[in-house]
Amino acid sequence: MADTTVTSTSPSSPTIHGFFETQTSTWQYLVVDPTTSIAAIIDPVLDFDRETQTVSTTTADALLAFIASNNYTISHILETHIHADHLTAASYLQTRLTQTQTESSRPPICAGKRIEQVQTLFATRYSIPTVEHQTAFDKLFDDDETFRIGNLEAVAIHLPGHTPDHLGYHIGDNIFCGDSVFHPDIGTARCDFPGGSAESLYHSGKRLLAMDPETKIWVGHDYPPAERGEEVPYMTVREHREHNKHLREGVEKDEFVRLRRERDQKLGEPRLLHPSLQINVRGGRMPAPASATLREGVEGEQPSTSTSTSPNSWNHYPIQPNPLPI
Ligand SMILES: [Fe+2]
């Protein structure tokens, strides 16, 4: 059961299902072409137990059950960026869907073209072998590249600031903005990760707020303040222009950058930072057993492919503790 659904009102507008994952406060989305039941998944979550350092697939399996019960066919798995606060279920879902879908069987895992910079940076810091991340994403979008989800047109929009690779996906009157802006009563996402930039986020935010006022901005996370009480997946451009506490009309760039930097200096490290980055630069694949050996200096050894394709490998697989602090 989806936590929220906005039903299509015309052949060119998608039906959108939102699923809120409470452990990491992440909104996951299914965007469905109403004419073909072909759909895209955006930013799916893999469960992670910090105590035992293990992953499980309860959230992703619920998404798969929902997809199956609605007879949807998944054409794309879309990532907005390399997340630092949750693990992606992209690879797990791709494997499962490839086993179960009869048409267009293997949905590509897609991200922005600059994701390679982020992969390279964190692969170095975590000693991740190149072979484990270089093919993690099947499709890297150029800026403003268009693609189709069934008969729907989608556009990949570069929204740097939180991370340099960050994309939004513009589909009908909707923009899935990942971690760029958050709801008006929260403001914007942090910019203090490597390659992040408050100046860039200001321009990305203003680009979003220049869209049609009725465009829905679907966020990657929600942390509702007490006054609001419950999570919601979207608010409109009009609401952001009037009320976004960091980016509403009248806020100049210098003011935003100062405010964003001050705020970021007070923020702690994300709870799941190290496991998230290690898995997400791999597109959600688990580390191969050979990685441990490679970390000890045996270069060039090919990891076993069985761990990256067997569904069992996602269950209770130990994540390596962070070998190099970032
Ligand atoms: Fe993020």
pLDDT in tens, 9-32: 999 999 999 999 999 999 999 999
220 compared with 105, residue with greater pLDDT: 220
CA of 270 to the centre of ligand 1 (A): 10
Distance 191 CA to ligand 1 centre (A): 9
Indicate the SS3 state at residue 171.
Answer: strand
Mean pLDDT of 181-191: 96
* Confidence (pLDDT) at 316: 42
CA of 193 to the centre of ligand 1 (A): 9
Return the minimum-mean-pLDDT range out of 55-64, 102-111, 146-155, 223-232.
102-111
In a domain, 314, yes or no: no
Indicate left, alpha or beta for 144 from its phi (over 0: left) and psi (-120 to 50: alpha).
left
In a domain, residue 299? The reply is no
pLDDT tens figures, 136-156: 999 999 999 999 999 999 999
CA–CA dist 286, 79 (Å, integer): 17
Q: What is the distance in A from the centroid of ligand 1 to the CA of 323? A: 22
Structural domain including 197 reads: 4-281
Residue 21 Cα to ligand 1 middle (Å): 14
Alpha carbon of 229 to ligand 1 centroid (Å): 22
Confirm whether 81 is domain-assigned: yes
CA of 85 to the centre of ligand 1 (A): 6
Q: What CATH number is attached to the domain comprising 37?
A: 3.60.15.10
pLDDT digits (tens, 9 = 90+) for 229-241: 999 999 999 999 9
pLDDT band at residue 325 under the 50/70/90 scheme = very low
Instruction: Tell me how far CA of residue 77 lies from CA of 81, 128, 248, 269, in angstroms.
Output: 12, 23, 32, 27
Q: How far is the CA of 80 from the centre of ligand 1 (A)?
A: 8
Mean pLDDT (whole number) for 286-301: 51
Residue 304 domain-assigned? no
Report the candidate in 291, 296, 297, 298 with the shortest Cα–Cα distance to residue 319: 291
Query: How many domains does the chain fold into?
Result: 1
* Cα of 107 from ligand 1 centre, angstroms: 23
Distance 146 CA to ligand 1 centre (A): 23
- The answer to whether residue 315 is domain-embedded is no
Average pLDDT, the chain: 89
Q: Ligand 1 centre and the CA of 287: distance in Å?
A: 21
How far does the centroid of ligand 1 lie from the alpha carbon of residue 35, in Å?
Answer: 32
- CA–centroid distance, residue 298 to ligand 1 (Å): 33
107-116 per-position pLDDT tens digit: 999 999 999 9
Taking 90 as the threshold, does the pLDDT of residue 105 lie above it?
no
Q: How confident is residue 52, by pLDDT bands cut at 50, 70 and 90?
A: confident
> Has residue 252 been placed in a domain?
yes
CA 26 to ligand 1 center in whole angstroms: 10
| Lowest mean pLDDT, pick from 193-197, 229-233, 316-320 | 316-320
In a domain, 324, yes or no: no
The token pair at 62 is 């619920």
Residue 257 lies in a domain: yes
The answer to whether the CB of 211 falls within 8 A of the CB of 71 is no
pLDDT of residue 10: 94
